[in-house]
Structure 1
Amino acid sequence: MKTRRVVVHEYGSPAVLHVENHEVPEPTANQVTIHNQYISVDYTDIYWRTGQLDAPKTPLTPGKAGAGVIAKIGAKVTDLQVGDRVAYIQTSGAYAEYFNAPAKLVVKLPDSISLKAAAAMMMKGLTANALVKHVYPVGVNKTVFIHAMAGGVGSFLTAWSKFLGATVIGTVGDDEKAQYAKSLGADKVINYHHDDILQTVMNFTKNTSVNVVYDGIGQATFNDSLKMLGPQGMYVNFGQVSGPVNDFSLGILAEKTQYVTFANVNTFVDDLDLLQQMSNELFAFYQETDFARAQTITEFSFDEVVAAHQLLESGKSHGSIVMKV
């Protein structure tokens, strides 16, 4: 079977993304072949394209999340069938019309969840699920701070934290994103180009600080994040858009006994039972709230992969970005 897929032959700018024709091998015993319908565009794809974090050697095909229909199943796959509507996460090489994925990372979709919505939610929604329900359980009487709350993960974090009863504060980069964050339920939105983040947080909380900071930015926001945390507060990093948080002295956490962690969604979804549980929670959240109505999904065609990366990297997008195959 022939397929079109995106290949990166050398790390670099979006211009290194090339759509090529390749042969799809038969699925192994524990794999399924997925006919993609929508592919998620995530910051992890940019890290791979530019050779950061866990990027494999080139040539490589980016992409780790999306949704489609099963075209073939491996000999030992029993829970999935040809024709099933499915979504997947952490399945390397997803930027393709057809590709093979480990069956353990693929879940069936409820009829009420469209393939487009599923592609937009798997990486970002399951990351948010891990952050608000497992890494630091959010609930009533908790105050949450979210950097880039109008972004892909930030959108889910904002809406889900509010759904769980928390007070939600966070940052955006322009007025349009501020309105979007408010539509998701944010209690206080800070434009970081105009407002002093730390002072605004302290004024809003009446100097009681916040319980948890969710940060996908990294180096540029780390110090202020610790300053706004209250006693026994937790700083949760899940991305490094501005660069990694370099070595720091543990002593700076001593005054208020704060906690710092890096959360990787891989450690949750590698467990098949937990992946199914978290997917069910994500689908229920999507169905039971107004998030589907408020969410923005920007769609590109598969051939517009360069433009999709350029938009995500520009910082001008809000919500999720997907490619239609």
Structure 2
Amino acid sequence: MQTNVVQISAPDVLEYKSVELPALGPQDVLILQHAIGVNYLDVFFRNGTFPVNAYPAPVGVEAAGIIEQVGAEVKHFKAGDRVAYYGPFGAYAEKRILHEKELFSLPDDITFDQAAAVMVKGLTAHMLLKSSHPVKAGELVLIHAMTGGVGSILSAWARSLGATVIGTVGSAAKKTLALQRGYERVIDLQTEEMTDKVDVVYDGTGRDTFYKSLELLKPGGSAVLYGWPSGMPELDHHWMEERHIHFVTAVLNNYPAYQDKSGTALNEVFDLIRKGVIDLHPLVYDLADAARAHKDLESRKTTGSIILKRLHA
């Protein structure tokens, strides 16, 4: 069973239906997927912001599970192996056939739920903190949507590097959650404004927050734009150059650590889980209820990572 997109539109176009899997190729593996990651990228493919070749089409780019069957020429895996992957389009499915080169072995101490919740989001945080603007101890860092999927990982990781994190949220309830996690400087954008000057802003929201973000940067600071669900902001490059602002549009698909599908770059992310720096409590939806997961994500009802699992037979 898998969840398909049948047309470009709202979440309710996601349909859960049976399809016949193709024959297993000589270097393919059949995976029983135990946990599937949900990312805002999936919304963009579902609603037509990013086109696909044809509809209906499955969405999703990351999952973790157990190999059920291997092709005759598979060299690196066997039935029963725990594996994970990110990148190949079409992860919203109970079972999936992939070429063995798309998979990596999942460490025994990382659960399927943790892997599905952290791979794409963790690599996004890796890109932002290590490449887009390498955070230094003592810096003042502004992170929008700090209780979101990427934001929660990004905030925890930046704090562990010695930065002072200022986070924005969209409700009083999310502010309470962030305060409970030990963040002392949390701004509820519905009722509060921020005036602090910061060294770097990580903005995964877009038009709704980006212009104010630029005003809060110190001269010579960094503005990192890595997502725009509220719309792509119009950029005044001349104004930014006058203020010596270092502007970065961070695109995960172009990041070398993401392009390496061996899972090597995830070792650092997994270590943060082991040390308790990243404390994952993903929201779990039934795979058959993917439409509700998308609806809740788009309406900003969710916090942290979202995963899909087959909860009911």
What TM-score, normalized by structure 1, do the two folds share?
A: 0.88
- Which of 264, 278, 281 does residue 296 from structure 1 map onto? 281
Whole-angstrom distance in 2 between the partners of 1:77 and 1:299? 32
Deviation at 1:96, TM superposition (A): 0.6
Conserved 8 A contact 2:4-2:15: yes
- Identify which of 15, 19, 23 aligns with 1:22: 19
Which sits farther off after the overlay, 71-80 or 157-166? 71-80
CA–CA distance in structure 1, aligned partners of residues 254 and 71 of structure 2: 25
Deviation at 1:290, TM superposition (A): 4.5
Contact 2:57 2:90 in 1 (8 A): yes
In structure 2, which of residues 238, 245, 255 is the aligned counterpart of residue 251 of structure 1?
238
3-state SS of the aligned residue for 2:37?
strand
* Kept in 2: contact 1:159–1:185 (CA 8 A): no
| CA distance 1:220–1:99, change in 2 (3 Å) | same
Give the 3 Å change call, closer, same or farther, for CA 278–7 of structure 1 in structure 2: same
1:287 paired with 2:265, answer no
Match of 2:40 in 1: 43
Note closer, same or farther for the CA distance 1:141–1:54 as it changes in structure 2 (3 Å cut).
farther
SS of aligned partner of 1:23:
coil
Give 2:202's aligned amino acid.
Answer: Y
Residue in 1 aligned with 2:303? 318
Higher RCO, 1 or 2 (CA under 8 Å, sep at least 6)?
A: 2
Change (3 A) 1:27 1:257: farther
Q: 1:145 aligns with which of 142, 153, 164?
A: 142
1:252, 1:30 → 2: CA distance? 53
Please name the residue that 1:212 is paired with: 200
Give the Cα separation in 1 of the matches to 2:223 and 2:28: 37
Q: CA RMSD for the aligned pairs?
A: 2.0
Q: Does 2:301 correspond to 1:309?
A: no
Counterparts in 2 of 1:55 and 1:242: CA distance versus 1, 3 Å: farther
1:264 matched residue in structure 2: 251
Shift of 1:173: 1.4
CA 1:324–1:171: 2 relative to 1, 3 Å: same
**How many Å separate the matches in 1 of 2:131 and 2:54?**
32
Alpha-carbon distance in structure 2 between the residues aligned to 1:214 and 1:304: 31
**CA 1:35–1:182 in 2, change beyond 3 Å: closer, same or farther?**
same
- Fraction of identical pairs, as percent: 37
Which of 208, 225, 248 is matched with 2:213 structurally? 225
**Unaligned stretches of 5+ residues in structure 2:** none
Match of 2:130 among 130, 133, 139: 133
What are the equivalent positions in structure 2 for 1:69-84 lying under 5 Å apart? 69-74=66-71, 77-84=74-81
| Secondary structure in 1 matching 2:231 | coil
Please give the secondary structure, in 1, of the residue aligned with 2:43: helix
Q: Can you list the C-alpha shifts for 1:132-188, whole angstroms capped at 9, x where unaligned?
A: 122211130222111100000000001010111111011011222113223444341
Note closer, same or farther for the CA distance 1:26–1:306 as it changes in structure 2 (3 Å cut). Answer: same
Q: Name the aligned partner's letter for residue 52 of structure 1.
A: T
Q: Is the 8 A contact 2:3 2:288 kept in 1?
A: no
The answer for unaligned runs of 5 or more in structure 1 is 203-208
SS of the residue aligned with 1:311?
A: helix
CA gap of 1:124–1:164, structure 2 versus 1, over 3 A, is same
**Displacement, 1:46?**
0.7
Q: Which residue identity does 1:57 align to in structure 2?
A: A
Is 1:110 the counterpart of 2:107 in the alignment? Answer: yes
> Using the alignment, how far apart are the partners of 1:185 and 1:87 within structure 2?
31
Alignment coverage as a number of residue pairs? 309
* 2:98 aligned counterpart, secondary structure: strand
Alpha-carbon offset, residue 12 of structure 1 = 0.6
Task: State the distance in 2 between where 1:181 and 1:126 align.
Answer: 22
Give distance in 1, aligned partners of 2:259 and 2:12: 36
Deviation at 1:103, TM superposition (A): 3.6
User: Secondary structure of 2:50's partner?
Assistant: coil
Out of 54-63 and 277-286, give the one that drifted further.
54-63
CA distance in 1, matches of 2:90, 2:210: 32
Q: Which moved more, 1:70-79 or 1:111-120?
A: 70-79
Comparing 308-317 with 20-29, which one deviates more in the overlay?
20-29
Instruction: Identify the residue that residue 99 of structure 1 maps to in structure 2.
Output: 96
Higher mean alpha-carbon deviation, 154-163 vs 104-113, is at 104-113
